[in-house]
Structure 1
Amino acid sequence: MITQNDIARLTGADVYDTDGDKVGSVGEVYLDAQGGDPQWVTVRTGLFGTKETFVPLRAASYSGDRITVSYPKGKIKDAPRIDADGAVSPAEEAELYTYYGLRDGDTTAGRHAAAGYGASYDDSSAASGTARLRKYVVTEQQPVSEPVAREETAGDEGRDRR
């Protein structure tokens, strides 16, 4: 079982299918907003990892830098294309659950949020009984050195002329 303790190491981990074939690597991690356990990941597929596909972590295992999911590679690659950079609409989420043959309660305790810090959750869907996938981003400050170029001249050439 994949737990909260694994979240920091999941991004970038290799994802393998039920037959041991590599599918791609993890792009984003989605958590149960109530319990905080990882429930879904997006998997970067394609020649240069340009496509991201949502995959449930139900019955998945994690060891080292490898996640083995309970779906075959073809099923994952044919999953509905949903933009992982934006909010997932209720219709898109329902499409994912239907595609993987799941009900909301099969993979979550109710609501989802993407792994990271400082997220907000829109609770408006809670009354309807549907889960909502939400993404948020880990933000950290990084010192950056940036070169600055300036022109200088020697002697009288650099003086103002009137």
Structure 2
Amino acid sequence: MFEARDIREWRGHDVVDSDGHKIGSLESVYVDTTTDQAAFATVTVGLPTRRRLVFVPLAGATVGPGYVRVAHSKNVVKGAPSMGTDDVLPAEDEPALFAHYELPYQPGTGGERRLARR
């Protein structure tokens, strides 16, 4: 896997699914607060007047010339929990995000967030 500081350099590049179909553009990276490793990316999708951000896990992602390829299909990603382009992921929405991708979710020992935007 790549380091969070490296993937941030790809902001604005295309995000494609496992079959090479374009999903959208990389907006930002969220790290796992327990490891400080890149865990999810937000991808800008939708029409110019109705844009939103969807989350996609970065596990298994690879980079190529001008794109980031994620390990999930376009339909799965577009069906993921989303938010407005100026919004922040509420802590109470984190479990649903992990559940959508069938990933285990456990908040910090003090109940703190699992994801943080970097």
The bucket for the TM-score relative to the shorter chain is 0.7 to 0.9
SS of residue matched to 1:94: helix
The structural deviation recorded for 1:34 is 4.6
Return the alpha-carbon distance in structure 2 between the equivalents of residues 38 and 65 of structure 1.
19
Structure with bigger strand share is: 2
Task: Tell me the percent identity.
Answer: 32
CA RMSD of aligned residues (A): 2.4
Bigger RCO (CA 8 Å, 6+ sep): 2
Structural mapping, 1:139-154, within 5 Å: none
- 1:42-91, CA deviations, whole angstroms, 9 ceiling, x for partnerless residues? 10111227111011101111123211111110111111223464442333
Aligned to 1:41: 41
Q: Please, which runs of 5 or more residues in structure 1 have no aligned partner?
A: 106-124, 137-162
Return the alpha-carbon distance in structure 2 between the equivalents of residues 135 and 92 of structure 1.
14
Is contact 2:39–2:58 with CA below 8 Å preserved after alignment? yes
Structural mapping, 1:75-90, within 5 Å: 75-83=76-84, 85-90=86-91
Q: Please, which runs of 5 or more residues in structure 2 have no aligned partner?
A: none
**Pairs aligned (count):** 117
Is contact 2:99–2:105 with CA below 8 Å preserved after alignment? no
For the pair shown, which has the larger CA radius of gyration, 1 or 2?
1
Greater mean alpha carbon deviation, residues 126-135 or residues 68-77: 126-135
If the length of structure 1 is used for normalisation, what is the TM-score?
A: 0.61
Aligned to 1:132: 114
SS of residue matched to 1:76: helix
If the length of structure 2 is used for normalisation, what is the TM-score?
A: 0.81
Aligned to 1:142: none
| Residue 63 to residue 5, structure 1, CA distance change in 2 (3 Å) | farther
Is contact 1:61–1:69 with CA below 8 Å preserved after alignment? yes
